[in-house]
């Protein structure tokens, strides 16, 4: 009898152990799914600012403070891009948010008050989109900033979030079908997301150096080597990098960075004080896009024609100097960069 009870005891222990193991596996699986969902969600909201003017960049710390206060610290660069679209830093009501309070345009005369009110208004729509939208969270919040609060919930209920098509449909409904002379509906900016995204790009989550196999041109490899050395040590400032003091501090913009590394590698890049993407676009030989190779300069229509420049590395990657990261590697397969790459390729040296 004692032996029988002992056997029953061990059977019970084994059963409990098996159940515990199954429960552990289930919770581990659920945890993995939750983690995966969080990762995919965050990738929908990860943007870096580009082509931000000094007049707007100077307010980065204030924007960061208000973004953190409203629980949306990941949107600082998007908010700077929004300010570029709204005022370019040229008006005291930086975020053009007076009307959101029921006041006449430009009633707000304190830039910091504008940031406080504007970020809070954006946060209301973004937090809704972050929780409920199944796609285009940032875009949903941006369009709602322009259209008003009703758009966010409307687009989420309709299609899970912003699309260009539903932005147009919303304007059509709100305008009663009335159109402007340019054919757009007479309600808000139907291309507001596109306009803001001239100053922001999806982040590829990496700003490390290149591991692509080097080529045989010593000048090009030196320029790329110098670029690698700048990763994590530079700051983007529009118009920066055109004097030795800036260079010593690691301050560049996209064209002065190119000038610096290629000059250091032994190429005459022209006058430093006047270098721009446009001077570099015409200084060297233009190459057909399909013949693009390591070391060539590639151009992008970010803020107008040839507004941004990079050094092609191979495997569709390129070095560039970005607003939020300084010198970093980006990919032509990134939807943003593939959308603004204009096909202009310039060969600095053979």
In a shared domain, residues 185 and 115: yes
CB-based contacts of 119, cutoff 8 Å, min separation 6 = 63, 66, 67, 69, 70, 72, 79, 95
Residue 212 lies in a domain: no
Residue 213 lies in a domain: no
Give Cα 226 to chain centroid, integer Å: 25
In a shared domain, residues 129 and 246: no
Catalytic residue flag (residue 91): no
Residue 207 lies in a domain: no
In a shared domain, residues 140 and 171: yes
Residue 295's domain is classified under what CATH number?
Answer: 3.90.1720.10
Q: For the chain, how many structural domains are there in total? A: 3
In a shared domain, residues 254 and 341: yes
Catalytic residue among 51, 125, 146, 320: 320
Q: 264-310 pLDDT, tens per residue?
A: 999 999 999 999 999 999 999 999 999 999 999 999 999 899 999 99
Catalytic residue flag (residue 308): yes
Residue 325 lies in a domain: yes
Look at residue 211 in the predicted model and tell me its pLDDT. Answer: 45
In a shared domain, residues 144 and 28: no
Q: Give the global pTM.
A: 0.55
Look at residue 214 in the predicted model and tell me its pLDDT. Answer: 57
CB-based contacts of 116, cutoff 8 Å, min separation 6 = 66
In a shared domain, residues 226 and 108: no
Tell me the mean pLDDT per 10 residues along the chain, length 350. 49 49 43 37 60 84 96 95 95 96 95 98 97 95 96 97 96 97 95 89 51 69 91 93 96 98 95 96 96 96 94 93 90 91 95
- Domain holding 67, by residue range, is 47-202
Catalytic residue among 51, 254, 259, 321: 254
In a shared domain, residues 231 and 192: no
Annotate 239-298 with DSSP letters as a single string: T-SSSHHHHHHTEE-HHHHHHHHHHHTT-----GGG--HHHHHHHSEEE-GGG--TT-EE
Residue 126 lies in a domain: yes
In a shared domain, residues 70 and 192: yes
From the CB of residue 31, how many other CB atoms can be counted at a distance below 10 Å?
10
Look at residue 200 in the predicted model and tell me its pLDDT. Answer: 81
Domain end: 173, 202, 231, which one? 202
Interaxial angle between packed helices 254-264 and 218-230, expressed in degrees from 0 to 180 and rounded to the nearest 10: 130
Burial 73-96 (b: 16+ CB within 10 A, else e): eebbbbbbbbbbbbbebebebbbb
Catalytic residue among 97, 125, 146, 308: 308
Residue 161's domain is classified under what CATH number?
Answer: 1.10.530.10
In a shared domain, residues 229 and 338: yes
In a shared domain, residues 78 and 196: yes
Q: 201-238 pLDDT, tens per residue?
A: 765 444 444 445 555 688 999 999 999 889 889 999 99
Residue 211 lies in a domain: no
Nearest residue to 95 via CA among 69, 63, 70: 63
Strand 308-314 and strand 297-300: the pairing is antiparallel
Catalytic residue flag (residue 254): yes
Domain end: 134, 169, 202, which one? 202
Residue 303 lies in a domain: yes
Look at residue 12 in the predicted model and tell me its pLDDT. Answer: 52
Residue 210 lies in a domain: no
In a shared domain, residues 14 and 96: no
In a shared domain, residues 19 and 55: no
């Amino acid at each position: 009898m004692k032996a029988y009870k002992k056997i029953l005891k061990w059977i019970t222990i084994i059963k409990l152990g098996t159940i515990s193991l199954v429960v552990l596996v289930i919770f581990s699986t659920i945890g993995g799914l939750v983690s995966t969902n969080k990762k995919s969600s965050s990738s929908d909201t990860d943007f870096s600012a580009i082509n931000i003017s000094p007049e707007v960049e100077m307010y980065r710390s204030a924007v960061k403070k208000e973004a953190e206060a409203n629980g949306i610290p990941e949107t600082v660069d998007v908010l700077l891009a929004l300010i570029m679209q709204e005022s370019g830093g040229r008006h005291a009501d930086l975020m053009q948010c007076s009307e959101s309070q029921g006041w006449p345009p430009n009633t707000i005369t304190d830039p910091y008050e504008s940031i406080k009110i504007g970020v809070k208004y954006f946060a209301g729509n973004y937090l809704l989109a972050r929780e409920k939208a199944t796609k285009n969270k940032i875009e949903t919040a941006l369009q709602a900033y322009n259209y008003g609060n009703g758009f966010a919930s409307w687009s989420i209920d309709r299609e899970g979030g912003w699309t260009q098509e539903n932005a147009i449909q919303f304007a059509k409904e709100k305008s009663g079908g009335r159109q402007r002379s340019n054919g757009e509906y007479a309600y808000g900016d139907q291309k507001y997301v596109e306009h803001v995204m001239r100053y922001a790009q999806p982040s590829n989550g990496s700003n490390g150096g290149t591991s692509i196999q080097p080529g045989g041109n010593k000048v090009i490899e030196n320029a790329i080597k110098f670029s690698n050395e700048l990763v994590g040590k530079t700051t983007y400032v529009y118009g920066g990098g055109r004097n030795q003091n800036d260079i010593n501090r690691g301050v560049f913009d996209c064209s002065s960075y190119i000038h610096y590394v290629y000059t250091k590698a032994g190429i005459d890049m022209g006058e430093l004080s006047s270098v721009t993407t446009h001077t570099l676009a015409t200084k060297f030989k233009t190459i057909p896009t399909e013949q693009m190779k390591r070391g060539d300069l590639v151009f992008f229509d970010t803020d107008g024609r040839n507004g941004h420049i990079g050094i092609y590395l191979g495997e569709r990657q390129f070095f560039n100097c970005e607003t939020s990261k300084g010198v970093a590697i980006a990919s032509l397969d990134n939807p943003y960069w593939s959308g603004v790459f204009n096909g202009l390729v310039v060969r600095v040296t053979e």
